[in-house]
């Protein structure tokens, strides 16, 4: 059995979240271990479950709060944990700001889903999957 990438998804749109989880589970050996729709819920889950996740996928615009706050909450993660942003607003300025806050990558929802899948596959391979 191949390894899976335990992934926490921060996305307030239920349809996008379910489609993303399904796509990544099917194509990239990802297992969704949790989700949140707000900054406070995401930060609480990450704080309570520091060993359960290997990848966090974070949208910037949430029901309450911001994905930028979630990025800040991930600052103390282990070197093997990755945090990526998946947003409709992946402008050059947003990418730069996310990098400063510790994002490992930023993907545009509208045209970089394949790149996100490839990223997840590469991360799984690095873990021996």
* Residue 45, pLDDT score: 98
Taking a C-beta distance cutoff of 8 angstroms, is the pair 84, 95 a contact?
no
Taking the C-alpha atoms of residue 65 and residue 88, their distance in angstroms, rounded to an integer, is 17
Tokens of 114: 């394949």
One DSSP character per residue, 14-40 reads HHHHHHHHHHHHHHS-EEEEEEESSHH
Those residues whose C-beta lies under 8 Å from the C-beta of residue 33, and which sit 6 or more positions away, are 6, 7, 8, 49, 52, 53
Q: pTM of the full predicted structure?
A: 0.96
Blockwise average pLDDT, block size 10, the chain, 129 residues: 86 97 95 98 97 97 97 94 96 97 97 97 87
- Cβ atoms of 11 and 87 within 8 Å: the answer is no
pLDDT reported for residue 129: 63
**Per-residue pLDDT at 1:** 41
């Amino acid at each position: 059995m191949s390894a899976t990438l335990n992934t926490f998804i921060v996305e307030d749109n239920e349809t996008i979240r379910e489609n993303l989880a399904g796509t990544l589970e099917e194509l990239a050996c990802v297992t969704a271990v949790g989700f949140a729709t707000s900054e406070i819920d995401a930060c609480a889950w990450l704080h309570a479950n520091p060993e359960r996740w290997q990848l966090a996928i974070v949208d910037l615009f949430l029901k309450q709060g911001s994905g930028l706050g979630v990025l800040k909450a991930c600052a103390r993660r282990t070197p093997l944990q990755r945090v990526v942003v998946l947003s409709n607003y992946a402008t050059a300025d947003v990418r730069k700001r996310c990098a400063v806050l510790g994002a490992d990558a930023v993907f545009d929802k509208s045209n970089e889903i394949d790149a996100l899948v490839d990223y997840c596959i590469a991360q799984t391979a690095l873990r021996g999957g």
